[in-house]
Amino acid sequence: TDGLHGRMRHPTYTAMMLVVLAYAITTHSWIVGVLGTLSAWFGFQYRIHYEELALAEQFGEEYERYRSDTPMWIPFTPLS
């Protein structure tokens, strides 16, 4: 897979997490930072679980290889 999806499985969710953090920084609110980041992360984890089940069902072994070779959130992190 080319582009961002070749570096991480969920670049859109990663970008949305960065937006939440940027909003917290610009509003100088640690409450927004903590609650916003945690609620977004838990919501995304829930959604990702079901998305990945559907992708595994649709693409089978090919998706499982992609999943095992590509980090979920942060590019260039080791997969162990």
DSSP 71: -
Burial status of residue 10 (CB atoms within 10 A of its CB: 0-12, 13-18, 19 or more): buried
Q: Work out the pLDDT band at 78, boundaries 50, 70, 90.
A: low
Rounded CA Rg of the chain: 15
In the DSSP assignment, the letter for residue 76 is: T
pLDDT in tens, 41-73: 999 999 999 999 999 999 999 999 999 999 998
- The whole model's pTM is what? 0.80
CB 39 within 8 A of CB 33: no
Residue 39 parent element (H or E)? helix 37-59
pLDDT in tens, 1-26: 778 898 999 999 999 999 998 998 99
